[in-house]
A and B are shown apart, each in its own frame.
Chain A
Amino acid sequence: MEESLVPVTLTVNGKAIAREVEPRTLLVHFLRDDAGLTGTHVGCDTSQCGVCTVLLNGEAVKSCTVLAVQADGADVLTIEGMEEEILHPVQQGFWEKHGLQCGFCTPGAMLTASYLLSTHPHPSEQEIRESLDGLLCRCTGYETIVRSVQRAQEIMDERRESADRETRAI
């Protein structure tokens, strides 16, 4: 069976990337090999571990189970795009609360966490733990990840409040 290359254009971390790819190219390989963004990792074959999690049009997805062609035209956010002028609150939270050890699942964990906080700004501890159903971490025992997410939420609240104060001041 012959397969031909297909054109895809993705906006990755705000930057358009156009390539011709084999249809079987997985989004994670597009990111790692075509976009050169190796912060997104591959940890399993069966869509369980979640270390490859990225945001696709703002939603957390496992990029090992999405074809690059399925993501054609979409916005993708990877770990490399999280930080703006300062660390993203989730990055800061993970750093402060020791939410990582070997760091391999961390990009997936942080994007999962940022998605959770975008949909549930004040999750309970149980909600945080359940949101990690799709994330396997072998190092931390998860509790420090939970604390990291809680800390990230505090930082988000703090930054929102200070932004509000600035707005009021103007």
Chain B
Amino acid sequence: MADVIGSALKRHEDIRLIRGKGQYTDDMKIPGMVYASMVRSPYAHARIVAVDTAEARQVPGVQAVFTGRDLKDEVGMVPTAWIPPDSDMKMTPHPALAYDLVRYAGDAVAVVIADTPYIAQDAADLVRVEYDAMPAVTNPRDAAKEGAPLVHEDIAGNVAFHWKAGVSVDEVFNKAEVVVRHEFRQQRLVPSAMEPRAAVAQWNAATDELTVWVTTQNPHIHRLLMSGMLGIPEHKLRVVAIDVGGAFGSKIACYPDEVIVSWAARKLNRPVKWTETRSENFTVTTHGRDHVEEVEVAGTKDGHIQAIRVKSYANLGAYLSTAAPGVPTILFGLIVNGAYAIPYASAEVFGVLTHTTPVDAYRGAGRPEATFLVERMVDLYSEAVGMDPLAVRKINLIPADAFPYTNPFTLQYDSGNYQGALAKALEMVDYQQFRKEQDNLRKQGKYVGIGFSTYVEMCGLGPSEVAGAVGFQGGLWESATVRVHPTGKVTVFTGASPHGQGEETTFAQIVAQELGLPPEDIEVVHGDTAKIAMGWGTYGSRTTVVGGAAIHMADQKVIEKARKIAAHKLEVGEDDVAFDQGLFSVKGLPARTVTFQEAALDAYLAWSLPKGMEPALEGTAFYNPENFTYPFGTHIAMVSVDPETGDIELMRYVAVDDVGVVINPMLVEGQIHGGLVQGIGQALYEGAEYDDQGQLLTGSFLDYAMPKARFFPKFETAHTVTPSPHNPLGVKGVGETGAIASTPAIVNAVMDALAPFGIHDLPMPLTPRKVWQAIAAKGGTH
């Protein structure tokens, strides 16, 4: 049998999805179900004077209208689950339905529940809310200034926390030959999973149990948080996420909506469904990024970077969302030195509240921001010292013999060969030839550019002890149960909650390889707290790294027990039994065998088991990783810029990624492609904009430029493989690399193209108009 790990198996989940038989939350239909529609504030900051629901209640088919006052004493505040240490973090109480103040446009103030969604929306339009509008603030640095409107009256200066890490860099900067300073704006992005959020809640009055089907990346975290808010104990609360239509971080958070629906289902003793509209998704579902960053790099004249200092204002929106405080701190600040052996580094982050949609994780979550600033700074520093950015990278990349490498923030990079990935990328791109052509083209008034991103990221979240030390209010281990049925078929239960990444297939491949079974004999179950005891979900490129490792451990338990059964049957000692490709055999006597399936049947019949052995065959394991994993690679972008219009064309994109051992190359490529398009989307197209009253100006797909198929050339991808030494499968995680690496590669390439104009940086997204304006400001092409 050929290796299953490493093969491009077609996906198991596709069998239902390509037939339209997926089970997304909005597909749920329960007899007696009623529908919720939210009444939301049009103001970013206002006092609620009065809510008049009389007219709405009179609409035929309306079952109930609830306001913030109805929920106030019955539903707890929407919590925050990350408290960065030593940051003096203030909590931002977030009522599920606002009753005194609204703090962003979209804050919910009432809910209408009706027989059909049409009626619910009709009636929601008839809820009259009187507001006393107040001034709003949307930019994080403005919000932190004295006199800015306060988002929460008791949080002075709108600073929710002030976090610092690293070592003192002052002396290095004071003595440095070269210091480069720059300010970056990481614009706000809208995650835009194609499936809007939804929740269906059903109360069972006989058992006092609540079942909630919800679009979540982490059903168990949802259960934990909702249990606290609703006062329903965890063993009476079931959270289910069967098929989830993409998330990218935006379905980590526990939102008011699912809590409102759950509370109402119990109150009315009717199943209640709520489905978000795309317009709501833009204004209510968490956004990503949104930093203002002041960055300084110190170095020598000959290209050695000695220190980096980062001061960042992270816009967190109106409330601290579930994971929000960890994203611009732990997941950002600790890795701002990137893939470079920069001996001194410090990071300081102000977590700032504004009258905008809450900001939380979005693909990469903190690491794209860190990678962007260091990759851009390497280029700006190269320019300052008059060196080629590739040469400066070669000088400063952490050498292959330095692993495990401890960075200035005490992260220990597990393994790497950054030069190897760079060399592979340079085999795909003739750099010197490109430079020659670039010169020739410039003489003809044509502008092309090349940009590098030699990145590393930290993922595979993560060691639970570290999670605790950095203030995450949960563990980051993962669970797995490998249940072998009497016929030798297998059900795998994972606490991770894949929603498009394909682990129903990847995990089956791990089990198939390790137990020597055909992949089609293995079913992977996820996303249901009634079926899986505990787990922490899917985010931070952790599913295969942590969840997959747990499965590997559970497999070992199964093999160990089955081996004992086989030895008993073969009447030899356990140590004399070999296991290979689903067959137990006596060492040296290959003809004497017991199949895995026979051992499984024996385990269940229990007619003749080794003395003291319990019947049945299953393994449960909990994998708590000892470290994060550190995927890395080199991305190279080549662009041309039309100086007459500012249009940017992406000519080539080369991505060499090292994500450790690859379990399914087809799925790995898919993850990289998806990440690339999101990262390139940030560089060139996407950006959420507010006006100064806190109105989102880019609130639909008519305004917010989601990447489309025609924007891209074919991607050129390749790999190097440096296994993670501490992960039992050697995997490193691939969900976020594309989004992390690509944004700076593109911007570096565009700035390289624009160098003849004396343009060094432009704020993202690099729209044609901005590019043209910059060229025009430098005197244009004539």
Contacts of B243 in A (CB 8 A): 102-103
Which residue of chain A lies nearest to B193 when distances are taken between CB atoms in the complex? A138
Pick from A44, A102, A129: contact of B245, CB under 8 Å = A102
A164 within 8 A of B: no
Pick from B118, B500, B707: contact of A103, CB under 8 Å = B500
**Does B19 lie within 8 Å of A80, measured CB to CB?**
yes
> What's the Cα separation between A141 and B738 when bound, in Å?
10
Q: How many residues of A contact B (CB 8 A)?
A: 56
- Contacting residues of chain A (69-128) with chain B, CB-CB under 8 angstroms: 78-80, 82-83, 87, 91, 94-96, 98, 100-107, 110, 125-126, 128
Which residue of chain A lies nearest to B277 when distances are taken between CB atoms in the complex? A45
- Contacting residues of chain B (266-305) with chain A, CB-CB under 8 angstroms: 275, 277-279
B434 within 8 A of A: no
A143 within 8 A of B: yes
Contacts of A132 in B (CB 8 A): 708-710
- Contacting residues of chain B (8-60) with chain A, CB-CB under 8 angstroms: 10-11, 13-15, 17-22, 24, 26-27, 29
Contacts of B22 in A (CB 8 A): 39, 103-104
Which residue of chain B lies nearest to A64 when distances are taken between CB atoms in the complex? B278
Which residue of chain A lies nearest to B23 when distances are taken between CB atoms in the complex? A38
Q: Nearest chain A CB to B290's CB is how many angstroms away?
A: 19
Contacts of A80 in B (CB 8 A): 19-21
B384 within 8 A of A: no
Contacts of B667 in A (CB 8 A): 98
Pick from B18, B244, B279, B712: contact of A87, CB under 8 Å = B18
**B669-710 to A contact mask, C-beta < 8 Å, 1/0:** 110011111100000000000000000000011100011111
Contacts of A167 in B (CB 8 A): none
> What's the Cα separation between A40 and B27 when bound, in Å?
10
**Does A95 lie within 8 Å of B10, measured CB to CB?**
yes
B535 within 8 A of A: no
**Does A43 lie within 8 Å of B500, measured CB to CB?**
no
**Does B678 lie within 8 Å of A138, measured CB to CB?**
yes
Which residue of chain B lies nearest to A94 when distances are taken between CB atoms in the complex? B18
Given contacts A129-B709, A136-B194, A141-B676, contact A41 B245 (CB under 8 A): yes
**Does A129 lie within 8 Å of B710, measured CB to CB?**
yes
- Given pairs A82-B20, A129-B712, 12 additional interface contacts (CB within 8 A): A42-B196, A46-B702, A48-B702, A102-B246, A104-B24, A106-B17, A107-B20, A130-B709, A139-B670, A141-B738, A142-B677, A144-B669
Contacts of A128 in B (CB 8 A): 709
B131 within 8 A of A: no
> What's the Cα separation between A45 and B666 when bound, in Å?
33
Contacts of A27 in B (CB 8 A): none
- Contacting residues of chain B (170-195) with chain A, CB-CB under 8 angstroms: 192-195
> What's the Cα separation between A103 and B277 when bound, in Å?
19
A137 within 8 A of B: yes
Q: Nearest chain A CB to B121's CB is how many angstroms away?
A: 11
Contacts of B701 in A (CB 8 A): 44, 46, 48-49, 136
> What's the Cα separation between A107 and B243 when bound, in Å?
14
**Does B24 lie within 8 Å of A41, measured CB to CB?**
yes
**Does A45 lie within 8 Å of B279, measured CB to CB?**
yes
A24 within 8 A of B: yes
- Contacting residues of chain A (17-54) with chain B, CB-CB under 8 angstroms: 22, 24, 32, 36-46, 48-49, 51
- List 24 A-B pairs, Cβ < 8 Å: A38-B27, A41-B194, A46-B278, A48-B700, A49-B701, A78-B20, A98-B11, A100-B11, A100-B18, A101-B500, A102-B243, A102-B244, A102-B499, A103-B14, A103-B18, A104-B193, A110-B18, A132-B710, A138-B674, A139-B500, A140-B673, A141-B673, A141-B675, A142-B709
Contacts of B765 in A (CB 8 A): none
B501 within 8 A of A: yes
**Does A139 lie within 8 Å of B17, measured CB to CB?**
no
Pick from A46, A91, A107, A133: contact of B708, CB under 8 Å = A133
Pick from B26, B279, B502: contact of A101, CB under 8 Å = B502
**Does A137 lie within 8 Å of B194, measured CB to CB?**
yes
List the count of A-B residue pairs having beta carbons below 8 Å apart: 173
Pick from A40, A95, A138: contact of B11, CB under 8 Å = A95
Which residue of chain A lies nearest to B717 when distances are taken between CB atoms in the complex? A143
Question: Which B positions have Cβ atoms within 8 angstroms of A?
Answer: 10-11, 13-15, 17-22, 24, 26-27, 29, 118, 192-196, 243-246, 248, 275, 277-279, 499-502, 666-667, 669-670, 673-678, 700-702, 706-710, 712, 714-715, 738
**Does B18 lie within 8 Å of A95, measured CB to CB?**
yes
Which residue of chain B lies nearest to A33 when distances are taken between CB atoms in the complex? B29
**Does B195 lie within 8 Å of A43, measured CB to CB?**
yes
Contacts of B501 in A (CB 8 A): 101
Contacts of B712 in A (CB 8 A): 129, 141-143
Given contacts A49-B278, A138-B248, contact A24 B708 (CB under 8 A): no
Which residue of chain A lies nearest to B192 when distances are taken between CB atoms in the complex? A138
Given contacts A49-B194, A132-B708, contact A91 B18 (CB under 8 A): yes
Most chain B CB within 10 A, of A43, A102, A106, is at: A102
Contacts of A94 in B (CB 8 A): 14, 18
Report the 9 A-B pairs with minimum CB-CB distance, sorted nearest first: A39-B20, A104-B245, A102-B500, A141-B673, A103-B17, A79-B20, A48-B701, A101-B500, A132-B709
Contacts of B673 in A (CB 8 A): 140-144
> What's the Cα separation between A151 and B581 when bound, in Å?
33
Pick from A48, A104, A125, A130: contact of B195, CB under 8 Å = A104
> What's the Cα separation between A98 and B409 when bound, in Å?
39
A146 within 8 A of B: yes
**Does A141 lie within 8 Å of B244, measured CB to CB?**
no
Which residue of chain A lies nearest to B28 when distances are taken between CB atoms in the complex? A38
A56 within 8 A of B: no
Q: Nearest chain B CB to A77's CB is how many angstroms away?
A: 11
**Does A44 lie within 8 Å of B715, measured CB to CB?**
no
> What's the Cα separation between A104 and B193 when bound, in Å?
9
**Does B194 lie within 8 Å of A51, measured CB to CB?**
yes
Given contacts A95-B14, A102-B193, A105-B194, contact A79 B19 (CB under 8 A): yes
Q: Nearest chain B CB to A90's CB is how many angstroms away?
A: 9
Contacts of B709 in A (CB 8 A): 128-130, 132-133, 135, 137, 142, 145-146
**Does A46 lie within 8 Å of B700, measured CB to CB?**
yes
**Does B13 lie within 8 Å of A139, measured CB to CB?**
no
Q: Nearest chain A CB to B666's CB is how many angstroms away?
A: 5
